[in-house]
Amino acid sequence: EEEDEEEEALLAELHELESQREALRLRRTRLQLRLGELLRREPCALLRREAEAGPDLYAQRLRELLELRKQREEVAAACKERVSARQRVAEEREAQVQALWTQFQARKKAVILYERRLSSSTVATKTMDLMQALEWDKEQRVREARVENIRLNHEIQNLEIILKAQGEGQRFMDFEYLKKENQNKSKKIDDLSAEILKLKKKVSNIVLILSQFKEKLQFVEAENEARKAELMGTVNILSQKRDILTKTKQARDRLRTNNLKLQQKCGLLGNEILLQDFEETVDTIENLSGRLETLKRHHADLIRASMKIQEKIREANS
């Protein structure tokens, strides 16, 4: 709204400059007409006075004419510079408004498309694009109608100034032409009013469509809330089952540890292979122990025999 007000202010100032230029043009025309009237009424007296004044009056009038031309050029240049500056400002404001409008439409479209993502509807995307196009067209036409209305209001003011000047003694303007021009402007205003009514009808239709979308959006939001609640219930159940699974794993680990401890305490009980191997090992050990005792006795016998032989040898030597 602030951008629109500033744009309207710039346009109003532009039309004010145009009206000033038009007023200067009318003033010049009025002076020319008065000069023509004076020439028609008293041509001889005017020529006689100018002849009596001689070259001095001519030089004075020439200087005045040059000064007026210089002033007109300065005023025209200043007005042109102001108009150019205002036009540049208006173009910059227009670009900013266009950027903000595009950003606003993109955000609105992103929000609606995000809400429509669960239903995966391409119709919503097409409808949103159509709505944005209609809204942008409506905005442009309303803006053009507003600018045209401001311009027509300034033209009406200029015509009123002309009519007022005519009422004060300006008899050289064509009243019928002004009347016809006023009728044309009135017709244009009527056409613009009809166009504005059409635009208002379009705006009401768009508002109705937006209200329907809003209701649909509320319905989808309610569905989303229900699904979120269902999801939270599922998450809670999953969390409970996860806790139960964790406790079950902990109990399994405890049972496994107890089982290992019991197996360590039981030793070879219940393990037939190890028992058989143990028995075989015991038998082998017993056999080897008996053989070892036999070998020990045989070795002792051999030692005693050797000692006897050595004793006999010593006796024989002695």
Q: DSSP characters for 229-260?
A: HHHHHHHHHHHHHHHHHHHHHHHHHHHHHHHH
In the chain, the amino acid numbered 266 is C
Mean pLDDT score of the chain: 73
pLDDT reading at 3 higher than 80: no
Tell me what pLDDT residue 193 has: 73
**Domain range annotation of the chain:** 2-237, 271-317
pLDDT of residue 37: 63
**pLDDT, position 38:** 61
- The whole-angstrom separation of Cα 285 and Cα 280 is 8
Q: Provide the percentage of residues in the chain whose pLDDT is more than 90.
A: 0
Nearest to 192 by CA among 135, 257, 234, 144: 144
Judge whether 157 and 12 are in contact, CB under 8 Å: no
Q: Please say if the pLDDT value at position 161 is more than 70.
A: no
**Segment (H or E) for 173:** none
Of the chain, the end-to-end C-alpha distance in Å amounts to: 148
Kindly report the pTM of this predicted structure: 0.28
pLDDT in tens, 96-109: 777 777 777 777 77
By CB atoms closer than 10 A (0-12, 13-18, 19+), residue 214 is exposed
Residue that has been written with the tokens 């509320």 in this structure: 218
Each residue of 225-256: b (16+ CB within 10 Å) or e?
eeeeeeeeeeeeeeeeeeeeeeeeeeeeeeee
Q: Which residue has the tokens 């609105």?
A: 108
Q: Which amino acid is at 65?
A: L
pLDDT (0 to 100) of residue 268: 57
Mean pLDDT of 185-206: 77
